Structure 1
């Protein structure tokens, strides 16, 4: 039995074979030309208003000379173009940090929006699977805004209803290659909106010299390098524990010694102490004068030093109970930073089982109870697997230097860190290019931060140690 459907009437149609489907031609509704013209005109006006609103400088640069040329001729248009260039040019050369954010980066953002992102938006979205084609219609995420910094493009995107940030994080390589960038990072701006960061260049390509010694005594955060956006890398040591993971030659020593260097004035004034565990006898031995009698290399001595740190922690906890909840560094109760160069050698590769268990128990106690009483742990290792270090989740702040495998990134920084752009396995193995480059996962934020630690040379370490040798 045939049902009446929209389109041509079915009366008079006869099917001689019952199994043959009857095909109906759908009705065609012709839109009046005036309606089409009005729709396109409205879209044009809205697009122009949006462009002027979002890109006033770029719009003025493009429209003003053209308007003057059409009304008054090329001579006046040339003057209008030449005079601002003559005035702004020397100012831009003299004060680039003032001119570039207000004019240069805005013009660059408009050009990148038009020529790179809007031009390739539809094919990249469809091919990567972030767009949807349903019943002959394309549903694409909305490209809202492009802003430029000195080193990257930040693209604001409105996701499709029902999409999640993980859908985009799983396709960072598609996005990077689609828009011609070396990498892509995904972060959530707010519900339904994402920030895609596409680097244009690497601001951390060159090694950084050692940070000057602080003028004032402080227990942190201490400056140890530079982040990707040009700001100082401030490492929090007091009130947290830090785990540093990286392959051989990745630059773990740069982080350890930069942190120690930042505490030198506090050590000198008695507000901080460094307790060093150096089972490899290669890294921390350069600064024995800084550590005094709080230096251990033999595994048994390392265990004794850790037990002593636990005793200090427990004694303070007993005195602070019911009196204060936070530690304030003082000469009587200095901040104690336990630095372990290769923690896996003590917790996994130690042949003496009893000694291994004793060290693991002491480290677990310090990392679970030491923050409130001013005892912190800064530990470095090469292999971040769970069977190598079972307490890695007890470190609130984590740093991933160059790693050998992509799976190790999530082992160090937490699940999903690599999908959000922490490509620690892609850091260059060439020392000049990649040593000290790291991705940071802070307790307060799940988004990884890229930074580079300053290189503290042997001569810098000897100069630091000489300050304490002269006082001994």
Structure 2
């Protein structure tokens, strides 16, 4: 039995069937029509002002014909608009790069904003879980500025209060498919704002031939390939250590030989020495004459060469102590780059415990003390697990080529690298598409950058050996 309600409450009860619970009708507050009209007008005006400010060229090209036609007729409008349109077409034909930078990409950004992102923003945010639909109202992250480059769309978004960047990085697949892109990368702009990068095509899909040898000796950063944005990939050599990880056929040799190729003039001038450890006997042996006797292949020889590098480092440190804090390469005191092709063979798979201990201790000493005195280490390996390479955190700069498992990405590049877009486990295993493609994370930046190293063929290596010798050009 229901208790009788006082007053007029009984008429606010709703019951469709006798068996259902009693439901109270919510109070409805009617908004005056004038407030609704003013709200919509304010939103429309602010949207027009914002669009005109961000996309002035698109706004002019879309509104000018309409305004001129309404004021003077279509003939006068065509007469007035023909010269600027002819000038734009001529500019595009004669100087396409500058036209694309100043006009083309701005128009493309406006079109992508209207046709792709604003059109699909609400359903993508709701379905992916980044937005909320509560009590008939959508709470969505705010779509910000759209910028187009030659290869990608960069979209800024303001997160909802209480959201974290990880909420976005965990939904990169949802965002990519929602906006018709192959991948999506998330980066932090500032508090509350994220930058979403949606590639339109892959600028690194075509293999790069070996780069030209520098005309003058250079100690870096050396150019060894191309970044995804089309700029040269410059790799720092002095004052750092580099770890390269990738599966078989991922292109580790492309990075190693591109670095050696870029250092050839400095190598010939005596400013750099490359000490090569080649336990596989298949990679660095091609350039053995370039190393001036600093080449080792057997585990015993590798241990001796590493011990010699430690001795050189300690002697140089004792000599520079109290004199200077950083090393400046000279012909009498060159920079030494220790290159280890397959470091796991020496540190994890070595059966001789004494050799394994010597090699691990030497590598740990070099990576902790060698930067300031001009001794660098570049090590390559296939398996980045801690039990295989327990000193991987001693390498400031890391490169992840194609990897077999998604967990290995964070092992190489650090925690959260894959969430920020370093999809090294999804790189193609086809040599033409994926060899030499990877992600680099530098000591100075936590955000991974997609790159591709130039391919140095056997013929290129033989030509390098025939042209350069240690101590001078042949």
TM-score by length of 2: 0.94
Q: Deviations over 1:104-142 (max 9, x none)?
A: 000000000111001110111111111123343221111
Residue 164 of structure 1 is matched in structure 2 by 164
The one-character-per-residue Cα deviations of 1:397-449 (angstroms, maximum 9, x if unpaired) are 00011111111111111111111111111111111111111100111111110
Correspondences of 1:187-266 after superposition (within 5 Å):
187-266=187-266
Secondary structure, aligned partner of 1:465:
helix
Greater mean deviation of Cα atoms: 161-170 or 299-308: 161-170
Separation of aligned partners in 1, 2:411 and 2:27 = 60
In the other structure, the counterpart of 2:274 is 274
Q: Name 1:346's counterpart in structure 2.
A: 346
Q: Could you report, residue by residue, the CA deviation over 1:266-287 in whole angstroms, capped at 9, with x for unpaired residues?
A: 1111111000000111110111
What is the distance in 1 between the residues matched to 2:82 and 2:432? 44
Name the SS of the counterpart of 2:328 in structure 1: coil
Question: CA–CA distance in 1 between the matches of 2:24 and 2:12?
Answer: 10
Contact 2:224–2:234 (8 Å) recurs in 1:
yes
Measure the CA separation in 2 of the matches of 1:266 and 1:79: 62
Aligned counterpart, 1:68: 68
**Equivalent in the alignment of 2:311:** 311
CA distance in 2, matches of 1:13, 1:182: 53
Q: Distance in 2 between matches of 1:13 and 1:59?
A: 52
**Residues 1:396 and 2:396 aligned together:** yes
Return the alpha-carbon distance in structure 2 between the equivalents of residues 229 and 20 of structure 1.
Answer: 63
Larger mean Cα displacement after TM superposition, 165-174 or 34-43? 34-43
Query: What are the ranges of 5 or more consecutive residues in structure 2 without an aligned counterpart?
Result: 14-18
C-alpha distance after superposition, 1:286-322 (max 9, x if no partner): 1111101100101100000000000000011111111
The residue aligned with 1:288 is 288
**Greater Cα shift, 335-344 or 135-144:** 135-144
CA gap of 1:350–1:40, structure 2 versus 1, over 3 A, is: same
Does the CA contact (< 8 Å) of 1:65 and 1:80 recur in 2?
A: no
Partner residue in 2 for 1:140 = 140
* Corresponding residue of 1:324: 324
**Hey, what's the Cα distance between the residues in 1 that align with 2:20 and 2:406?**
57
CA–CA distance in 1 between the matches of 2:307 and 2:202?
44
Q: How far off its partner does 1:162 sit?
A: 1.3
Alpha-carbon displacement from aligned partner over 1:172-225 (angstroms, at most 9, x marks no partner):
111101100010111111111111000001111111111111122121110000
Q: What is the deviation of 1:22?
A: 5.6
Matched, 1:433 2:442: no
Contact 1:224 1:258 in 2 (8 A): yes
Structure 1 residues 216 and 31: alpha-carbon distance in aligned structure 2, compared to 1, 3 A threshold: same
How many angstroms apart in 2 are the aligned matches of 1:93 and 1:361? 61
Check whether the contact 2:306–2:362 (CA below 8 A) recurs between aligned residues.
yes
CA distance in 1 between partners of 2:199 and 2:180 (Å):
10
> Quick check: 132-141 or 362-371, which moved more?
132-141
Tell me: CA distance 1:284–1:39, structure 2 relative to 1, closer, same or farther (3 Å).
same
Alpha-carbon distance in 2 for matches of 1:13, 1:42: 37
Identify if the C-alpha distance between structure 1 residues 255 and 11 changes in structure 2 by more than 3 Å, giving closer, same or farther: closer
* 8 A Cα contact 1:186 1:197, kept in partner: yes
Which SS does the other structure have where 1:419 is aligned?
coil
For the structure 1 residues 61 and 308, does the alpha-carbon distance in structure 2 shift closer, same or farther, using more than 3 Å as the test? same
Q: Contact (CA 8 Å) 2:268, 2:473: kept in 1 or not?
A: no
Distance, in Å, in 2 between the alignment partners of 1:257 and 1:12 is 85
The Cα shift of 1:90 comes to 2.1
Q: Which moved more, 1:223-232 or 1:73-82?
A: 73-82
Stretch of structure 1 that moved more, 43-52 or 196-205: 43-52
Q: Which runs of 5+ in 1 are unaligned?
A: none
Q: Is 1:181 paired with 2:173? A: no
Matched, 1:95 2:95: yes
C-alpha contact 1:153 1:199 (8 A) present in aligned 2: yes
How big is the shift at 1:12? Answer: 8.9
Tell me which residue corresponds to 1:150.
150
Contact 2:244–2:380 under 8 Å retained in 1: yes
Which residue in 2 is equivalent to 1:104? 104
The count of residues paired between Structure 1 and Structure 2 equals 467
Instruction: Give secondary structure in 2 for the equivalent of 1:65.
Output: helix
Q: Which moved more, 1:428-437 or 1:86-95?
A: 86-95
Q: Quick check: 1:124 aligned with 2:124? A: yes
Q: Please give the alpha-carbon distance, in whole angstroms, between the structure 1 residues aligned to 2:79 and 2:330.
A: 67
SS in structure 2 of the partner of residue 345 of structure 1 = helix
Structure 1 partner of 2:409:
409
Instruction: Give the Cα–Cα distance (whole angstroms) in 1 for the partners of residues 463 and 92 of structure 2.
Output: 41
Distance 2:331 2:250 in 1: 36
Is 2:109–2:148's contact at 8 Å kept on the other side of the alignment?
yes
Three-state SS of the structure 1 residue aligned to 2:372 is helix
In the TM superposition, what is the alpha-carbon distance from 1:471 to its structure 2 partner?
Answer: 6.0
Checking the alignment, whether the CA contact within 8 Å between 2:12 and 2:24 is kept in structure 1 is: no
Shift of 1:253: 0.7
Whether the 8 Å contact between 1:289 and 1:466 is mirrored in structure 2 is no
